[in-house]
Amino acid sequence: LESVSLGKEKDSRYMEADQFYSCTLSGSAARIAVRDWIETSLFDFRKSIAKWFKDIAIMEYDSSLKVLKTRYVGLYNLARSSQNVTNDKDVSLSRTASYLWNAAIKKTAPPLWLLTKVLQRSRMDAYGVTAERASLIKLILNRNNKGGGFMVTEKIEEGLKPVAYVCGQIFAKLESIQYAALGDVNSGIREKYFTYAMTSPAAAFGRLFNLHSKHFTKLKNEKPGLAINMDKELQELCKKDNIKSFPATFTLEEQGQFAIGYYHQRQKQFSGSK
């Protein structure tokens, strides 16, 4: 760009062949502005892209093939997942995409305000925690994890997991028990309690387990075998990960862990696994 403005043709002609260059532009009316310029070696570029795909990888159930598959979400769809899908004029989309592009090329951590946005969309719209949102949450949590704590993987891993993550799994299991007992209701526990459980788990899960006892009783009367199996799976979740009590609140990062636990458990249930 400088060679064009200064009329020094040789500066652009002799760009290094083993370098990667990226220029981000934005437009407003008849004006174009340079938003960002990235210059890095191809060696570092390849390492950054390899890490990017590792960090965004998420397991998703393929209903047509009836198997769990690793999904790599495109950058635009990642950025769009934090937006209101009915609002095509959301000006923050380009800003979000720019942060994600930098994360891909420079291995930077996306800002935590983006986690707030994607969790808000997960709570507010009918799509819930989609593969795109789970992938973005995973990326943000892992890239901002500087203390060597829990790292989110693309699928459920055995071993000790954070309480918030397990609470998300439990919520998904309670939701599946309600569905087995009542079928497809207009306003289930996800619509009524997902936000509540994600932010104030102690109060929310008290109510959820009261509802569960009613759902379990109905299911046991109609499908006793299924009821016993599903309740056993729920008890194993609580027991295996040593859930003795629910915290009063979850931090922003813990809310992200809750969403991931919920997503992972649902994909596992879709595949027919316990």
Q: What is the DSSP letter of 245?
A: -
In a domain, 158, yes or no: no
Strand ranges for 3-53 from DSSP E: 19-28, 31-41
Q: What is the domain range of residue 56?
A: 41-143
Is 188 in the same domain as 110? no
Handedness of CA 95, 74, 134, 21 (dihedral sign): negative
Amino acid at 205: F
Is 61 in the same domain as 100? yes
In a domain, 3, yes or no: no
In a domain, 173, yes or no: yes
Is 167 in the same domain as 216? yes
In a domain, 167, yes or no: yes
Number of domains in the chain: 2
- Per-residue pLDDT in tens (0 to 9) along the chain, 274 residues: 454 445 455 555 556 678 888 888 877 767 887 778 888 888 898 999 999 999 999 999 998 888 999 999 999 999 999 988 676 666 678 889 999 999 999 999 999 999 999 999 999 988 899 999 999 999 999 999 987 788 999 998 777 789 999 999 999 999 999 998 888 887 889 999 999 999 999 999 999 999 998 998 988 888 988 988 898 888 888 876 667 788 999 999 999 999 999 999 999 998 876 5
In a domain, 12, yes or no: no
CA distance 49 to 135: 15
In a domain, 57, yes or no: yes
In a domain, 10, yes or no: no
105 within 8 A of 38, measured Cβ to Cβ = yes
Which one of 143, 174, 205 terminates a domain?
A: 143
Is 91 in the same domain as 179? no
Is 132 in the same domain as 199? no
Confidence (pTM): 0.87
Is 183 in the same domain as 99? no
In a domain, 233, yes or no: yes
Contacts of 61 (CB under 8 A, 6+ apart): 67, 68, 69, 267, 270, 271
